[in-house]
Structure 1
Amino acid sequence: MLASYAQVNRGAFHMKAVQQRERTGPGTVAKALSLLDLVASYERPVRFTALLKASALPKATLHRLLQTLTEQRLLVYNEEMQTYGLGSRLVSLAHTAWQQFSLAPLARPYIDALAETIGETIHLAQLDNGHVLYLDKRSAGQPIAMYSQTGKIAPAYCTGVGKAMLAFLPGPAIDRAITQQSFERFTAATLVSPEALEADLRLTAQRGYAIDNQEHEEGIICIAVPILGSMGRLFGAISITGSTARLALSDLEAHLPTLLAAAEQIGKDAQIWQAPS
């Protein structure tokens, strides 16, 4: 299942810039950034031959870009294994971006409090090009194995946080986000059509929270609510996740008032945080 979704991700990261004429300037920058995306999509060190097969770049161009990115510490090359991976400079840039633009730092005390009070796994997420980007996660007292990890990308159409965010986007943005979904089937409960997702999003908007009833992973359920500003601006979403081995959706829904209160506080803080000085 996870391998299949990684393949979908890898296809989504395909380099459009390679169709442009090779020259300096924005075209070269776009190619380099797309190459970084491609290396990252493997989630492990990758050989030159694999990158050459996966990209449409000519061999000489690919080699030159890899060399430049390595020299700039955006990639690291392991001579013994002959593999490329993401470099230390990216880690530094990512950390700075995380601190400046992510909800994670300001939401951390609320996430900590939720996890301690409820005792189940808590997720914080934002939308990224129609998909879910996990910003933070607190494991339950009894941790359960699941796909989600901080920094990972997941589908929006079959996750609680994803549907909570999609349902509260303005109309045109919802339509655009729906076209970005792959509608791959992960379980028997996965929504696999735009029509099914649209119906679910209408229900989500009416009740004010989303449900993931084993739609992304067998045995994993969750409820999620959007994080909204005072004017309805969407900042992200938070969720409570549990295992069907010991919980039902009604058990999670019993914590809905606490989850909504936390989302409201994070939304207020985010409104102030993003206000121009």
Structure 2
Amino acid sequence: MSQSVKRAARIIDSIAAEPKSIARLADEFDLHRSTMFRELQALEEVGYARRRRDGTYALGFHLVALAQTSLESIDLREVAAGPLRRLHKSVGNTVHLAALMESSIVYVDKVEDANGVRMYSRIGAPVRPHCSGVGKAILANLDRPQRDAILAATDWKKYTENTITTRSKLDAELDDIAEQGFAVDDGEFEDFVNCVAVPIITRAGVVGALSVTAIRMVQDLETLTARLPLMQRTAAQIARALG
């Protein structure tokens, strides 16, 4: 890790303990005040520090929001662990759990197919929102600004013949998903894989989604959609536990 990154991390730790002035921080880190000012400016630009009215510096709101989002995703994984595994025991297929984190969607848990069929997805990896069941299930339950933020970095790559590659087509499908209460991935990322996904919606709004995934030749979408009542009960149970 570079010295500048280490120093920035230590400055964040310092102002997290209590708000401090430039002079006090400069003394603490044995830096010239102008150097410390530049360090704080850089942290302020990305929302990791903020200057208070009294001239001291405290943690920035963006950093606080990131911490809160991280805690929420941890809560989701912990709360969902039991219900997710009971769902897996009932269906046998690969079960995914994805969480909404700031302006991205991330896989936070996964239980592999009971028959040993491995899926591409990985815990901690970002979800491709335009061609995944969990991604579309979450997007369909977000307002326009939140949806825009998540899709801003989408490359709209055509992975298969069924991949949606335009915003207008995706928005039209998201309207249908919002109305019917579930999303599908009909071979949109890998043409031999399909899945059904349902959102997890608390009083605060959508926080994530869960899905059941299978190789198309083993179980098609019609077979997977028959599992929707069980999936929806599981999602509702998780949502109630989250409050």
Structure 2 length-normalised TM: 0.70
Aligned to 2:160: 187
Matching of residues 17-166 of structure 1 within 5 Å: 23-25=38-40, 27=42, 101-166=74-139
TM-fit CA distance, 1:152: 1.1
Aligned to 2:212: 240
Q: d(CA) in 2 for partners of 1:141 and 1:258?
A: 18
Q: d(CA) in 2 for partners of 1:175 and 1:241?
A: 27
Q: d(CA) in 1 for partners of 2:203 and 2:91?
A: 26
Larger relative contact order, structure 1 or 2 (CA cutoff 8 Å, min sep 6): 2
Aligned length: 187
Q: d(CA) in 2 for partners of 1:248 and 1:117?
A: 17
- Alpha-carbon spacing, 1:235–1:244, altered in 2? closer, same or farther (3 Å): same
8 A Cα contact 1:102 1:135, kept in partner: no
Matching of residues 2-17 of structure 1 within 5 Å: none
Q: Which runs of 5+ in 2 are unaligned?
A: 1-34, 49-66
SS in 2 for 1:157: helix
| TM-superposition CA deviations, 1:147-203 (whole Å, max 9, x none) | 211111121111000000000112332233333422111111111110111011011
Q: d(CA) in 2 for partners of 1:99 and 1:230?
A: 14
1:267 pairs with one of 204, 228, 239: 239
Amino acid in structure 2 at the alignment position of 1:246: V
Q: d(CA) in 2 for partners of 1:120 and 1:242?
A: 6
Matched, 1:211 2:184: yes
8 A Cα contact 1:213 1:222, kept in partner: yes
Matched, 1:229 2:170: no
Q: Which runs of 5+ in 1 are unaligned?
A: 1-20, 34-93, 272-277
Q: d(CA) in 2 for partners of 1:100 and 1:160?
A: 19
SS in 2 for 1:259: helix
SS in 1 for 2:129: coil
8 A Cα contact 2:103 2:146, kept in partner: no
- Alpha-carbon spacing, 1:221–1:268, altered in 2? closer, same or farther (3 Å): same
Amino acid in structure 2 at the alignment position of 1:263: A
- CA RMSD of superposed structures (Å): 2.6
Q: d(CA) in 1 for partners of 2:187 and 2:128?
A: 14
TM-fit CA distance, 1:129: 4.6
8 A Cα contact 2:112 2:118, kept in partner: no
8 A Cα contact 1:222 1:239, kept in partner: yes
Which moves more between the two structures, 144-153 or 163-172?
144-153
Q: d(CA) in 1 for partners of 2:155 and 2:103?
A: 10
